[in-house]
Amino acid sequence: MPSFDIVSEFDKHEASNAVDQANRELQGRFDFKGVTAGFELDAESVTLEAEVDFQLRQMLDVLRNKLISRGIDARCMDPQESELSGVRARQVVTLKQGLEQPEAKDIVKRIKDSKLKVQAQIQGDKVRVTGKKRDDLQQVMALLRGESGPDLALQFDNFRD
């Protein structure tokens, strides 16, 4: 039976490249001349450091644009509250990977509500969808692409006939 997996992940190497490009752009920008500001990538989070909160917001836009240009969906970004301490401002942006249980349950519920002849089951941090026809699976993909919320970056993986 044909099947595919619904996942939410990003390429870590591309994220590293995006952070490097964002750092290079900051070095060349006129409004950041003489300012100590930069991005630092840790496992699945990016730390932004600047002198004031306004610069953090500009840096967040630069990071978002670089991630998008490297093929990473910007909806995987989860910016935390900025921390202001005297002469430094810091913000951590978590890059979400994997579907959490409530999100996976919501996806399964939407698939079941669509009345398509497919089965959806949660397997760890992904959802596996199986059906008798390839066309039914493609309808599920179209359904989820059309109505995936603003906070979910979904990819369809491991399509088997």
Note whether 43 and 80 are within 8 A (CB): no
Are the C-beta atoms of residues 17 and 46 closer than 8 Å to each other? Answer: no
Whether 145 and 87 share a structural domain: no
Report the C-alpha gap between 106 and 36 in whole angstroms. 43
Whether residue 39 sits in one domain with residue 23: yes
CATH number of the domain bearing residue 153? 3.30.70.860
The answer on 77 and 30 residing in a single domain is: yes
Closest CA to 25 of 72, 54, 58, 53: 58
- How confident is the model at residue 141, as a pLDDT? 85
Residues 17 and 83 in one domain: yes
Q: What distance in Å separates the CA atoms of residue 39 and residue 20, rounded to the nearest whole number?
A: 8
Task: Say whether both 68 and 103 belong to one domain.
Answer: no
Model pLDDT, residue 133? 86
Q: Which one of 75, 95, 115 terminates a domain? A: 95
> Given this model, what pLDDT does residue 142 score?
86
Reported pTM: 0.81
Residues 113 and 81 grouped into a single domain:
no
Which value, to the nearest 10 degrees, does the dihedral of the CA atoms of residues 61, 67, 69, 73 take? Answer: -110
Is 19 found in the same domain as 87? yes
User: pLDDT at position 148, please?
Assistant: 58
- 22 and 70 in a single domain? The answer is yes
CA gap 24, 83 in Å, rounded: 24
**What is the rounded distance in angstroms from the CA atom of residue 25 to the CA atom of residue 38?**
10
Average pLDDT of adjacent 10-residue blocks, the chain of 161 residues: 86 91 91 88 91 90 93 88 89 88 87 87 88 86 74 80 77
Q: Strand 3-7 vs strand 155-160: parallel, antiparallel, or unpaired?
A: antiparallel
Domain carrying residue 91:
12-95
Question: Distance from CA of residue 107 to its chain's centroid?
Answer: 17
Asked if residue 66 and residue 129 are part of one domain, the reply reads no
DSSP-derived secondary structure letter, 73: -
Check residue 34 and give its pLDDT: 86
The domain total for the chain is: 2
